[in-house]
Each structure stands twice: as C-alpha cells, then as structure tokens.
Amino acid sequence: MGSRASTLLREEEIEEIKKETGFSHSQITRLYSRFTSLDKGENGTLSREDFQRIPELAINPLGDRIINAFFPEGEDQVNFRGFMRTLAHFRPIEDNEKNKNPTASEPLNSRTNKLLFAFHLYDLDRDDKISRDELLQVLRMMVGVNISDEQLGSIADRTIQEADTNGDNSISFNEFIKVLEKVDVEQKMSIRFLH
Ligand SMILES: [Ca+2]
Ligand SMILES: [Ca+2]
C-alpha cells in the first residue's frame, strides 16, 4: 500500500507496451525504473528538464531536438507509454523480425520509421520538407563554431542541390530516403538495449 504501489507497472500494461514497441518484458521493466528515476516530480510523467539529465542527450548537439520528439504536439509532459513509443524507434531490428508477416503493420523500429524520425529532427515547421534554412540550423548545431556562415551556406546549397530531384529547393521525405539509400541507418540509429 501507499506510495510504493504507484511506482509499479501493471502486468497488462507491460503486455500492451510489448506488443506496441517490441521491447521484451525485462527491457520494459528496466526502462521503467530508469523512467521513474528521471521523474523528479514523481507524477508519472517526464518534463523536458527531466530529459536534460540524461548525459547522452545533454552532450548530443541535436539533444534538444531529440527530446522534443518525445513530446506530443503542444504538450510538455510525456508518460511512460509515450516514452517507450519514441524509444522504440532506436530498437535494433532483430533477425527474427526481418522477414515477418508483410501484412502486419510497420514496426516503429523499421528503416522507414527510423528515417522518418531523423527527417522530423530537421523539419521544424512540419511542412514535410527540409528547407535550406532548416538544414542550415541543423548544420550549425552539428559543426560548432569553426566554420563560417558562408561555408555552411555553401554546404547547405550543395546538399540540397544533390538531394532535390523535383527542383523545389527543399528536401522531401522521398528525396531524403534516396540520399540515405546507401547509409547504414540501422547501425547509426540503434541503441543496444540490454535484454
Ligand atoms: Ca520544413
Ligand atoms: Ca525537392
């Protein structure tokens, strides 16, 4: 009884999260204890400040963008379910998932969903295109201060020129996929979660 009970995850909830995200039972309980240790307000949700205490995110130049991806539009708290749904994009694709039933809905950790997640880190205004400005902002965060605005601008121009096949001066999701066709997205966008 008392406050302790509220920190336990119900078995049905674990089952639902397992189905939705593909995480194993032990991964879910382990991530839940990480979640509750980050939850300084002890209200079952995380705020942006809670996320900023994760060292890997604090040092990532795109950390703030990644943190934002955890929050539903216009909200400033995320519950465990939402936390797991976003985290699932980073779950490696396991061998037994590679040729499963093609009629099943696309898993959150598929290549396409991983790429879509990355695309949204750039597409701040959510118009489904990466504009020159949006690309510049990300480049600036990633390269730091050692490069002049002029140089950055020409990198952005060249990147758009190479990617932009329909000539609208921005990068659509399809164009984005084409550029990254040969990139090992699986390796770059996976986190090894302990089993
Ligand atoms: Ca955009
Ligand atoms: Ca285009």
Q: What domains can be seen in the chain, in order of their start residue? A: 11-90 (1.10.238.10), 108-188 (1.10.238.10)
- Overall average pLDDT of the 141-160 stretch: 90
CA of 123 to the centre of ligand 1 (A): 4
- Residues 176-185 have pLDDT tens digits of 999 999 888 8
Q: Is 111 strand, coil or helix?
A: helix
Question: Which amino acid type is present at position 6?
Answer: S
More confident residue, 57 or 2: 57
Confidence of residue 102 (pLDDT cuts 50, 70, 90): low
Confidence of residue 7 (pLDDT cuts 50, 70, 90): low
Residue 20 reports pLDDT greater than 60: yes
Nearest ligand to the CA of 165 is 2
CA of 184 to the centre of ligand 2 (A): 23
Q: Is 78 strand, coil or helix?
A: strand
Distance CA 46, CA 43 (A): 8
Q: Residue 18 is encoded by which pair of tokens?
A: 């397992």
Q: Residue 8 is encoded by which pair of tokens?
A: 């336990």
Q: What is the sign of the dihedral through the CA atoms of 189, 75, 129 and 123?
A: negative
More confident residue, 186 or 130: 130
Q: Residue 82 is encoded by which pair of tokens?
A: 């939402």
CA of 160 to the centre of ligand 2 (A): 8
Strands (E), the chain: 45-46, 78-79, 129-130, 171-172
Q: pLDDT value at position 2?
A: 40
Q: Residue 172 is encoded by which pair of tokens?
A: 């659509």
Q: Is 25 strand, coil or helix?
A: helix
More confident residue, 185 or 17: 17
CA of 112 to the centre of ligand 2 (A): 18
- Overall average pLDDT of the 36-41 stretch: 94
Nearest ligand to the CA of 168 is 2
Q: How far does Cα 26 stand from its chain's mean position?
A: 22
Nearest ligand to the CA of 162 is 2
**Would you call 139 exposed, middle or buried from its count of C-beta atoms within 10 A (0-12, 13-18, 19+)?**
middle
CA of 63 to the centre of ligand 1 (A): 19
Confidence of residue 8 (pLDDT cuts 50, 70, 90): confident
